[in-house]
């Protein structure tokens, strides 16, 4: 399975499993596997979910898309689709 990335912080990632979290199934309803931030089952398992403690508020502000940037992307791709 996936191994934790030891130097994730140096690479600007949020957690040691950010590089592979989207490969995991979404929202485990039972069992406490779901990452409270990403919504996927954590590759680190239940124990990692319990000890992680990170929330969406811990994500660096610069990681979020800015409205003006999103608008630019939408215009660019709208032209391509039309």
pLDDT higher than 90, residue 7 = yes
Give the separation between CA 26 and CA 41, rounded to whole angstroms.
6
pLDDT higher than 90, residue 1 = no
Please check whether residue 1 is in contact with residue 7, taking contact to mean a CB–CB distance below 8 angstroms. Answer: no
The band of 10, judged by pLDDT with boundaries at 50, 70 and 90, is: very high
What pLDDT does residue 16 have? 94
If you average pLDDT over every residue of the chain, what do you get? Answer: 83
What pLDDT does residue 39 have? 87
- Residue 42, Cβ density class (10 Å: 0-12 exposed, 13-18 middle, ≥19 buried): buried
82 or 50, greater pLDDT: 50
Instruction: Give which of 52, 51, 53, 29 is closest to 39, Cα–Cα.
Output: 29
Q: Which two tokens stand for residue 64?
A: 């979020």
The band of 15, judged by pLDDT with boundaries at 50, 70 and 90, is: very high
């Amino acid at each position: 399975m996936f191994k934790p990335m030891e130097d994730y912080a140096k690479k600007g990632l949020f957690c040691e499993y950010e590089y592979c979290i989207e490969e995991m199934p979404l929202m485990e309803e039972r069992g406490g596997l779901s990452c409270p931030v990403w919504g996927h089952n954590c590759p680190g398992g239940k124990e990692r979910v319990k000890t992680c403690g990170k929330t969406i508020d811990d994500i660096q502000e610069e990681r979020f898309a800015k409205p003006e940037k999103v608008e630019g992307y939408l215009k660019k791709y709208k032209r391509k689709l039309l």
